Amino acid sequence: MKIDIFASGSSGNAYRINDGKTHFLLDAGIPLKDIKIGCGFRVNQIEGCFITHSHLDHSKAAQALASFGVDVYTSQGTIETCRLTGHHIHRVKALEEIRVGTFHILPFDVQHDAPEPLGFLFTSTETGEKLLYFTDTYYIKYRFRGLTHIMAECNYDIEGVRRSTEAGYIPIELVPRLMKSHMSLEHLIDLLKANDLSSVKQIYLLHLSSNNSDEVRFREAIQRQTGAEVYVC
């Protein structure tokens, strides 16, 4: 599984994966021109774009990609909120598996303050690898087996939020929303403990807060917990 990071964070999120046969985009929260640059101007190689939810830092280029001929897969809630139209827009539902190219894809519901947000489990029939992708959620109720790659939000930790509120970077009244809409380091560690990590090769930490996170400490904490290669995006 090859994973390319185009953008990660509150200013925009977009990632590309491929198993040697099929290329996907995961989220499209940056302008189409930047996606084209990331793809080496070979957007026609992309067989699908999977949008987790309607917030612009994940969906900004969804309609532009569909108009360009890329199939976009997302929930009905995201389609309606983003007003996505055209025959390249495909509705998917939580826990209803689909197949695109050499991948089986299982969408699953997550908790976030957007209409019908999703995470995705990608299983390659070409390599047998399994990629778990989720972002912008504080909790996942499902458990997964045989994962080889994980792309997970790790937005903040409690100590980082404490420092930011004391320094005045974030108003104290916004803290409850943060803790009910984004994944903390502490919650991610709990989630990893609850899942089968025996085959995990790589973990990518996504969507880190610029004020409430510490890249080095987050990487070291996840490495200690999992023994996997850990990358901060």
Q: Specify the number of domains making up the chain.
A: 1
Q: Say what the pLDDT of residue 209 is.
A: 86
Count of all residues that appear for the chain in the document: 233
Q: Which residue range(s) make up the domain with 48?
A: 2-232
DSSP per residue over 100-162, as a string? ETTEEEEEEE---SSSS-EEEEEEETTT--EEEEE-S-S------SS--EEEEE--B-HHHHH
Q: Say what the pLDDT of residue 221 is.
A: 94
Contact, 153 vs 182, CB < 8 A? yes
pTM, to two decimals: 0.93
Q: For residue 39, what is the domain's CATH number?
A: 3.60.15.10
Q: Which ranges in the chain belong to alpha helices (H)?
A: 32-38, 56-59, 62-67, 76-82, 158-167, 175-179, 185-193, 215-226
What pLDDT tens digit does each residue of the chain (233 aa) get? 999 999 999 899 999 999 999 999 999 999 999 999 999 999 999 999 999 999 999 999 999 999 999 999 999 999 999 999 999 999 999 999 999 999 999 999 999 989 999 999 999 999 999 999 999 999 899 999 999 999 999 988 867 566 656 555 565 655 555 556 689 999 999 999 999 999 999 999 999 987 778 899 999 999 999 999 999 99
Neighbours of 220 (CB within 10 A): 12
Query: Residue 231 pairs with which residues in a beta bridge?
Result: 204
For 104, the token pair is 């089986």
Q: Say what the pLDDT of residue 210 is.
A: 77
Q: Say what the pLDDT of residue 194 is.
A: 94
Q: Say what the pLDDT of residue 19 is.
A: 97
